[in-house]
Amino acid sequence: MDFRDRHIVVTGGTGALGSAVVGALLEAGASCHVPYLTEAKTQNFRHRSHPRVHLVATGTLADEAAVARLFDTVPGLWASIHLVGGFAMSPVSETDKAALMQQIETNLVTCFLSCRAAVRAMARGKAGGRIVNVASRPALEWRAGAGMAAYTASKAAVAALTTALAEEVAKDGILVNAVAPSIMDTPANRKAMPKADHDAWPKVEEVARTILFLASPDNKVTRGTIATVYGRI
């Protein structure tokens, strides 16, 4: 996959999956525009000094104006990959409105606003483009979301947004897809579940390869897909 001379936005690019995605894009020749919430989020980002990495201080991506400013800085946007999100686990009986809205803002609103800004930027360029979102396994398998209904609902909304938007913008040459991981093999997940079978979890580098294909010029026909990246669990 050749991304030379292509500009890609990667929200959540300083995280575990984001770092793998940015690394793979850089190897393929891309220029990556990575927004961040606070300076602390960039300290351990291994690609921060790469000449084709452009770190952009945006604050929260649930802010419409901040998202618009981010996309206005990107010349000739080819792809936008939306990895920002959050997870919370609690039964419905213990989830108040504030906790529900936090999941909706973190997972759905950030994705929606980034999709909106990306579509507008791609429309200005008139060369099409690619958008890749991140749903989750419970977003597709709702019963698996028991005990985390707010998270499940927000990610199911991301999946629905992806499919609806894919139909809306296909005529403009913009292909929209998403991936749905299970539990990814990250340091945080290993710490939270030390006794799990970590070998069965999908690796972030493996998930990144699926994202790269969906975001690439090689993807000429796939749209509206929620690609499951479950590993062996």
**What is the tens place of the pLDDT at every residue in 196-221?**
999 999 999 999 999 999 999 999 99
Cβ-based neighbours of 108, under 8 Å, separated by 6 or more? 154, 157, 158, 161
Mean pLDDT of 144-155: 98
Between 210 and 41, the more confident residue is: 210
Contact 121, 67 (CB under 8 A): no
Amino acid letter, residue 7: H
Distance of alpha carbon 56 from alpha carbon 97, whole angstroms: 31
Q: Which conformational region is residue 76 in: left (phi greater than 0), alpha (psi within -120 to 50 degrees), or beta?
A: left
Give me the sign of the Cα torsion angle 14, 174, 116, 55.
Answer: positive
List, in sequence order, every beta strand (DSSP E) within 86-146: 129-134
Which domains are seen in the chain, by residue range?
7-229 (3.40.50.720)
Residue 122 burial (C-beta neighbours within 10 Å; 0-12, 13-18, 19+): buried
Active site positions, annotated: 151
pLDDT for the residue numbered 60: 96
Judged against a pLDDT cut of 90, whether residue 41 lies above it is answered with: no
Amino acid letter, residue 66: A
Distance of alpha carbon 86 from alpha carbon 103, whole angstroms: 7
pTM: 0.96
Mean pLDDT of 41-53: 95
Contact 54, 72 (CB under 8 A): no
Amino acid letter, residue 17: L
Judged against a pLDDT cut of 90, whether residue 149 lies above it is answered with: yes
When the pLDDT of each residue in the chain is averaged and rounded to a whole number, the result is: 96
pLDDT for the residue numbered 111: 98
Distance of alpha carbon 25 from alpha carbon 215, whole angstroms: 10
Contact 151, 197 (CB under 8 A): no
pLDDT tens string 126-141: 999 999 999 999 999 9
Q: Which conformational region is residue 229 in: left (phi greater than 0), alpha (psi within -120 to 50 degrees), or beta?
A: beta
Which pLDDT band holds residue 152 (cuts at 50, 70, 90)?
very high
